[in-house]
Structure 1
């Protein structure tokens, strides 16, 4: 019985140690993210905004102008203004 008690005690101590170390890693990671966001702001050069093309080359019989406008605005919303529709083709 003494061996089982010792084994259970070692298991509980080991699991508690791992749990505490994981908590330390989580909170240190959160602190690091907070510090980087506060003291190292994003550079202005990394934000590139590309305007979506108003006139899209599409076959005249394939899509109406309203359908083309819907596709262009959907791409703009999905890419947050960074995407550009150049050509629309049916696959």
Structure 2
């Protein structure tokens, strides 16, 4: 019976330890994300690239556009069409 009590005690201590460590990972991760979003600005993808006229990231490659249009056509069985593609 003593071995069973020792085993259950170790089980409880191990599970509590894992729970605390995972909780700390989540809390610290959320803190890092919030601090990063607050203090580090988002870089403009067209900044620092001379010669593109600021259009980088705004034009969809023609093969990607064709694949998206074909996928929408197949999924909706021809009842929908793609009007625009943008990032929200």
Q: Distance in 1 between matches of 2:42 and 2:20?
A: 33
TM-score, scaled relative to structure 1: 0.55
State the Cα deviation string for residues 32-79 of structure 1 (Å, max 9, x = none): 11011111110123573349xxxxxxxxxxxxxxxxxx7451xx1xx3
Q: Please, which runs of 5 or more residues in structure 1 have no aligned partner? A: 52-69, 82-91
Say what the alpha-carbon RMSD is for the aligned residues: 2.3
Query: Which residue number in structure 2 is paired with residue 29 of structure 1?
Result: 29
Answer with 1 or 2: which has the greater Rg.
1
Larger RCO, structure (CA 8 Å, separation 6 or more) = 1
In the alignment of these two chains, the number of paired residues is: 59
Q: Please, which runs of 5 or more residues in structure 2 have no aligned partner? A: 47-55, 61-79
